[in-house]
Amino acid sequence: MFKNLFKKNQSNSEESKFILPLEGKLLPIEEVPDPVFSQKMMGDGAAIDPTNGTLISPVDGQVVNIFPTKHAISLMDNNGREILIHVGLDTVTLKGEGFTSHVEDGQKVKQGQKLMDIDFEAIKDKVPSIITPIIFTNLKENEKVVIENNEIKIV
């Protein structure tokens, strides 16, 4: 159910598997209650209204950056696709409270590997929303993200 595919964007047309990094309800990016995300200022993507606080890697790749406040993590898959996972909205104000990272910058990760634990119960009343945007920051000009059959796809 959480297995997703997006095209590799290379002439050999291989596909890369992408799984959802959090359990929860998958939402179009336009439904994120923050214009920075809903208006795609950082890139196209989708979002998850999480039901579980275990954040896993959606791809095989590398951790590019864990923000000092642990509220966001950027990854690059083995095909060069950049993915930003921003846990909740205005969570930067928590200064790391409720977040436990299990990886570090530059670390290679495998799909399904635990990246972080988030205590959503502890933070949900301190931020506007725990909806978590997943942004693809380096899509080609003609690519877009669509949600189809509870999967994120790049077309």
Residues tagged active-site: 86
Residue type, 155: V
Total residues belonging to the chain: 155
Say if residues 51 and 26 touch (Cβ distance below 8 Å). no
| CA gap 84, 120 in Å, rounded | 19
Q: What residues pair up with 118 in beta bridges, in sequence order?
A: 99
Exposed e or buried b per residue across 44-74, where buried means at least 16 C-beta atoms within 10 angstroms of its C-beta: ebbbbebeebebbbbbbbbbeebbeebbbbb
Count of CB atoms situated within 10 Å of the CB of 127: 19
Phi first, then psi: what are they for 26, rounded to 5°?
A: -80, 130
